[in-house]
Structure 1
Amino acid sequence: MSSAIFGKVVQLEAALLLLFVASVPAQDADIVRTCTAYKRSVWEETSEFSFLIEDAPIIYKTLDKCTSYAPLIIGGGPALPKEFPHAVRLGHQDNNGEVDWFCGGTLISDRHVLTAAHCHYSPQGSVNIARLGDLEFDTSSDDADPEDFVVKNFTPHPGYSYPAIYNDISVVRLSRPVTFNEYKHPACLPFDDGRAVSSFIAIGWGQLEIVPRTENKKLQKVKLYNYGTRCRMTAEKNEELPEGYNATTQLCIGSNDHKDTCNGDSGGPVLIYHKKHPCMYHVMGITSIGVACDTPDIPAMYTRVHFYLDWIKQQLARN
């Protein structure tokens, strides 16, 4: 009798283990390899030398400079030089060369920037210019390497329908490739969906305060927290969210303090540190829609990047 019960318990434990393993999303091998390749291309230097003996073999040695530029973020504040080399600012340049910057983005390859689809519906005009490698706008005294790129085209997700904010994701293609260095190189795509992540880093050049309206020219960072599915309660249905919060395609992120993303941060990333490479980040979300900017315990909604990996990979494969 007891052995029969023991056998059933073992079977139940095995079944639960299989269920748990099946529920954990497998890492995409291509994304893992690409992430490692980006890290190596920027942070590893290989030198060769040999002993001064005839026919001595050549010895190769690799120096890995991948270290973190900053400690874990506790509150918020200005970003450090080279801390977020994947940060992109997007805008519209008119025929006179004047640029209106209104959205953020994330470099994910040498030609592609990830942003929010709603950024293409800006009253300032369509997204046609991207700036990489910058830290503080309108100054040359910061430790930065700003470079502007013409936008060749962009592809909003086919499921996006303005003004509704679902599937709020777009891939922007630059007219020429980016040369990677310590100031400009991609963030990694997600290895998982972020449900188990407790906190994120949000960055952007958006407003520092909603009232009074505070213009910001320096890249800012802030630590925000995963509120799980709380947005189902805090987000009212409206024309932007006709079906309310969608936990499958959106992340619910905020703070119990006056820390938040705000106007001008749209399209920018929410990030986590890479577990093995401290110089690298994963882009887990895209700043999409706020419920009440800078209001404690009222989280905002961000596009869950992991849900769209197959579609993103299709865009990266396009010529």
Structure 2
Amino acid sequence: MELVGIFVLLSTAGWVSADKPVRFGVAVAEDSTGGDASRNIVGGKAAYKGEFPHHVAIYLDGVYKCGGTILDEKHVLTSAYCFYPNGTDNGEYQVKAGLWRPEKPDSDVQVRDVLGVVAHPKFNVSDLTSPDVAVVRVNRDFTFNQYVGPAAIPKTREEEQRVRRGDCALVGFGVVNQEKLIFPKRLRKIEGLILPNYELCYQLFEENGSVPKTMMCTSNPQQNGCRNDGGGALVCRKPNTGDQFVVGVLSFVSSPCRTDGIAYYPRVYRYRPWIQKAIKRLEM
């Protein structure tokens, strides 16, 4: 699979080719068959209301842009590409929590403005393996209830490994039909994800370079993230307790979205110290 960079325009009017791999909230990369690696859930099924209270939808100037994960009352974890290239200077960002039906939001939806964002300093839009993570600060606290609440971050590699043995899912509002750019009526999920070990993730990507151990991948043939799913969480339920942990942030997928179902994520526990520093910086 030869990666050739591509952008998805916010207007969805077309694709703009580039010389190197680039990201699109879920990175979009063209392969030799003319497909694209992007970020949106293709396949999967509708989630039930309140099933993933941590998930948020991030909008730019009223247009859905990407997903994110609530960390606490004020902060959201998402992809750096969601705010590329100029951060909040791109336009007016809003975060919608408790959203289940994008076209028919109900009274449980909490809308917040974005006050600030810190993207990882080593993020490079031309390098798919660079740290595609960012922390967002909203203008008012979220009110936690059965529809809105945080996901935890594994504290150690051992805890991450235990959590990964539970039920894992990818969720998002990305397109359900890649060719026709059809968006879902409800939040969607892909369950039963296979989480390969690092060696297999490395082998799957080796034609395009090396994958750092700060990244992980999932495999689920015929189902995958795709356009506009970038920034959303790979979330796993801890065995015995059912607590939800965010173990990855969707960064890019193989091309086309449905083919082999391979997706790549920064491993969140590896960025826990940086996330804590970013939160402190946003509170200054």
One fold, TM greater than 0.5?
yes
Structure 1 partner of 2:150: 186
Structure 1 partner of 2:262: 299
Once the two structures are TM-superposed, the CA of residue 192 in structure 1 deviates from its matched residue by 3.8
**What is the identity, as a one-letter code, of the residue corresponding to 1:235?**
F
**What is the identity, as a one-letter code, of the residue corresponding to 2:144?**
F
Structure 2 partner of 1:69: none
Once the two structures are TM-superposed, the CA of residue 233 in structure 1 deviates from its matched residue by 2.6
Distance 1:148 1:236, change over 3 A: same
Distance 1:272 1:139, change over 3 A: same
Counterpart-to-counterpart distance in 2, 1:215 and 1:76: 13
Counterpart-to-counterpart distance in 2, 1:168 and 1:188: 19
Which protein shows a greater Rg? 1
Structure 1 partner of 2:236: 272
TM-score (norm 2): 0.74
1:225 to 183, 189, 194: 194
Larger relative CO (CA 8 A, sep 6+): 1 or 2? Answer: 2
Which segment drifts farther, 109-118 or 174-183? 174-183
Contact 2:155 2:272 survives alignment (8 Å): no
Contact 2:254 2:260 survives alignment (8 Å): no
Q: Which runs of 5+ in 2 are unaligned?
A: 1-42
Counterpart-to-counterpart distance in 2, 1:293 and 1:171: 29
Q: Which runs of 5+ in 1 are unaligned?
A: 1-74, 94-98
Once the two structures are TM-superposed, the CA of residue 122 in structure 1 deviates from its matched residue by 6.9
Counterpart-to-counterpart distance in 1, 2:265 and 2:185: 23
Contact 1:89 1:130 survives alignment (8 Å): yes
Counterpart-to-counterpart distance in 2, 1:245 and 1:210: 26
SS of aligned partner of 2:171: strand
2:55 to 81, 87, 91: 87
Matched, 1:254 2:219: yes
Structure 2 partner of 1:118: 81
Which segment drifts farther, 282-291 or 194-203? 194-203
Counterpart-to-counterpart distance in 2, 1:298 and 1:218: 21
Distance 1:299 1:270, change over 3 A: same
C-alpha RMSD over aligned residues: 2.4
Structure 2 partner of 1:235: 205
SS of aligned partner of 1:152: strand
Superposition pairs of residues 44-63 of structure 1, within 5 angstroms: none
Once the two structures are TM-superposed, the CA of residue 298 in structure 1 deviates from its matched residue by 4.9
Counterpart-to-counterpart distance in 1, 2:205 and 2:261: 9
Counterpart-to-counterpart distance in 2, 1:80 and 1:218: 9
Counterpart-to-counterpart distance in 1, 2:156 and 2:195: 14
2:210 to 244, 266, 270: 244
CA offsets per residue over residues 17-48 of structure 1, 9 Å max, x none?
xxxxxxxxxxxxxxxxxxxxxxxxxxxxxxxx
**What is the identity, as a one-letter code, of the residue corresponding to 2:270?**
F
Once the two structures are TM-superposed, the CA of residue 237 in structure 1 deviates from its matched residue by 5.8
SS of aligned partner of 1:225: coil
Counterpart-to-counterpart distance in 2, 1:127 and 1:308: 27
Contact 2:58 2:96 survives alignment (8 Å): yes
Contact 1:260 1:293 survives alignment (8 Å): no
Structure 1 partner of 2:18: none
**What is the identity, as a one-letter code, of the residue corresponding to 1:234?**
L
CA offsets per residue over residues 202-239 of structure 1, 9 Å max, x none?
0000111323432223110112211223232332566x
